[in-house]
Amino acid sequence: MNKVQETISEMAKDLYAVDAIDKTTLRKFDIKSLSSVPNYTAKQISLIRHKLGLSQAVFAAYLNVSDRAVKKWEHGESKPGGATLKLLSIVDRKGIEESYNGVRLRLLWLLGGKVCIIIK
């Protein structure tokens, strides 16, 4: 959300707080303030993962998809969609830690394909 959208959203919340607008109108402002989800190219998906320093398997675990799905995305054989695409855009904009409500998580890929989550 850009600064203008943030300002409008805050103004709408303030108007609702003083009963100047109703809840339905407030929700319309919230829906309009949602940012659109980009369509990522194979290269862009790969760059997001590399920027985070994650393997395909660990990146897949964060997105709750198979590592095969990530591999297909990065080779241009398929594209993420729906909720996965939205989550990918959040990870792209905010990184992994913020996508988990500010709780610092660190994933360790262990032998045998198990993922260990360390909360800091």
For 73-96, the pLDDT digits (tens) are 999 999 999 889 988 988 888 777
Asked if residues 74 and 59 have their Cβ atoms less than 8 Å apart, the reply is no
Contact 67, 60 (CB under 8 A): yes
Mean pLDDT, the chain, rounded, equals 79
Residue 112 pLDDT > 50: no
- What predicted TM-score, i.e. pTM, was given to this entire model? 0.59
Contact 51, 34 (CB under 8 A): no
What local confidence, expressed as pLDDT, does residue 109 receive? Answer: 42
At the topology level, CATH places domain 42-119 in 434 Repressor (Amino-terminal Domain) (1.10.260)
Q: What is the mean pLDDT of residues 23-31?
A: 78
Q: What's the rounded mean pLDDT across residues 43-51?
A: 93
How many beta carbons lie within 10 A of that of residue 114, not counting itself?
8
